[in-house]
Amino acid sequence: MISHNKELSASFLIKNKDLLNWKTISANHKLSESFIDNYKHLVYWGIISEHQSLSEKFIEKYKHLVDWKKISEHQNLSEKFIEKYKNKVDWKLISLYQNLSEKFIEQHKNKVDWSVISHTQKLSKKFIDKHKDLINWEELALV
Q: How far apart are CA 23 and CA 45, in angstroms?
A: 9
Runs of H (alpha helix) within the chain: 10-15, 22-28, 33-38, 45-51, 56-61, 68-74, 79-84, 91-97, 102-107, 114-120, 125-130, 137-141
Is the pLDDT score of 1 beyond 80? no
Is the pLDDT score of 52 beyond 80? yes
Q: What mean pLDDT do residues 53-79 have?
A: 99
Is the pLDDT score of 7 beyond 90? no
What is the reported pTM? Answer: 0.89
